[in-house]
Structure 1
Amino acid sequence: MNSKIDPTIFKAYDIRGIYPAQLNEETIYKIAKGIFTFFVKKLNLSRAPRLVLSYDGRTSTPMLVKEARKALLESGAEITEIGMSTTPAFYFSLTHYDCDAGLQVSASHNPKEYNGIKFAFNTGGKVTKIGRDTGMDEVRELTLAEKFISLGSKGRVKRNEDVFEDQVENAFRLVQYPTIKKLKVVADPGNAVGALYLEALFKKLPCELIKMNFKIDGNFPAHQPDPLQFETLVDLRKKVLEEKADLGIAPDGDGDRIFFINEKGDVIQASLITALVARELLQKQPREKIVVDVRNTFNVEAAVKKYGGVLVVTRVGHALITETMKKENALFAGENSGHYFFRETG
């Protein structure tokens, strides 16, 4: 197995490559050490960093996580391992469990041959997602040069398996436990980890959940878990009509993007979802800022203006849009790709 690291796997918003040609047990070991070194230098801590470790359900993930965990422990990290998880649950864990930073081993919505790493740090309850403008180049250089920091003592792991229950309870608290109608909902997470959050969420909802492709299977036998490719939504749209359901839900491979189907079987534009959420929020909190990427202004601009908000337009990319949110202290943001962000949850 070639342990030489391909520098092209360090992308604009994550680390991502084909397993095992580009990302394998040897390379992720070094990359995890590079990320640890970046965190220690960036956060300037006088103690061992507290890191979240989580991962998706791809077939290569167990082997990669084993080596990442080993590297972090050798470096001296105190790890809170939340297990198989979505990326939003990973970000939530950083602040909810008072951790400094963390890694999510996942290749999101990409085909089964891929795997990768998303990573972020927490400062004062604000999550910074690492991308090209927030530290990715530094991590790449540290890793390629193997200029690693070790704290001289072995770290430790504690496991927390309550993240989805905690995340759902936090979401209900933020929206003040609203009364929700008994809806019939069809959901298709594409055999990916979005199923785990949906299971936890619908335990708390008075709704009928009709499940499609809920069994975690990193081979993605039904379809690639990428709802931005509308051909992956064909079966879900049909099922919504067959069941006479009120709504269809399709999260992506790591659960950080989501598309909705209406009762007519039509895909709802992401810009319309952003506009609807902005309307609801601005009615309670007028004059707040709403962030959109340059592709997502349709529908949103009119809603923000009507309900007394301030529209902020930013470049494309979830790391960029969340940095803009922090800078502007915005209430909410939405991307054309189906990413949505709330101030309270980073």
Structure 2
Amino acid sequence: MKCPNCGEDVKPTDKQCPNCHFDLEKFRNEFFTGQDTTRNEKNDDHQKQETRSVKKVEPKKQNSTIATMINWIQVNSMIVFVVGIILLILTSFSPSLGWSCFFALLIWLFIVSDKNKGKKTEQYTVDQRLTEHVNKVGSDVVNSFEEGENKVRAHRQKIDDKLGRDPEAIKKVVKQKRTATQLGVILIAVLNLLLVFSGPFSSGMMQGYQALSISKALLSIGRFNGKYIFIGYGMWLLLVGVPIAIIILTIKNGKNNKKLVFFLSLIESIVLIVCAVELIFMNAGSPLGITNNTVANSIEIQRIVANAISFGVSTYLLFVSSILLTVVAFRSMRQN
């Protein structure tokens, strides 16, 4: 180090120059310390900006096997995607088998990654083929839908041009034909679906079925053998399928759709009435629960009352809602 005043050699610890007595300590404090502080502040600000912009979550020590596994999943992503769909379908049928296959595949991937750790992961030929097939099938399906839609539009346009019809005017006429009664039909059908899938099927009198909805109760009945399969699943299809069909037919608003809606709602109401009578008056001694014996008569009436009380709120609401749907559908059919 040299003295900035006279150029003589000085030591870093000298406070003054031995030759010209220049104040070296003051020179260092004024020039070098300030520059170092500024540089340190700039470096700290730069590091803080980098930390804010990119926050990486890194392990204390990277495991090469885990890094190879992650790299393998990224490179062969299509295999992972297809296997994931297969496992999802398998788990829906057999959860234990699906989870067993999942953990077996994880173990296999760990073993393969452990053998090839540190090496470059290459894309499998199967992954390349799967990517090509998925791309081809997906593109063909989407393109076919688009082409079909374009053909339908072109065909409709030709028909409209031949008949001299305005598509926009036709849409406006169809919208005007829909009435408030039809809106009521849709709302009641939606209410029927909500009652089927929500609310208790039975009241506290039947504690074994207290937590079950109408849908779950019917599906549980369908799991028994014999006629109960047709009763349970058949009733479930009726109570779910009829409201959905009514909603679709009412929205489409075709020429004879109002009649179909009325007949579907009438069939549902009749079936519900028959089922209610059978369930309330079952084991009552006669179809109406009335016998000639006074003692037996009182017992059977008590049983009828107990059966009637055993139904939950949603069951009675579904019964009333179905009859109301039939009445509203009949009024909609009678309207011009």
TM-score (norm 1): 0.20
Identify the structure with bigger relative contact order (alpha carbons < 8 Å, sequence gap 6+): 1
More helix by share: 2
Larger radius of gyration: 2
TM-score (norm 2): 0.21
More strand by share: 1
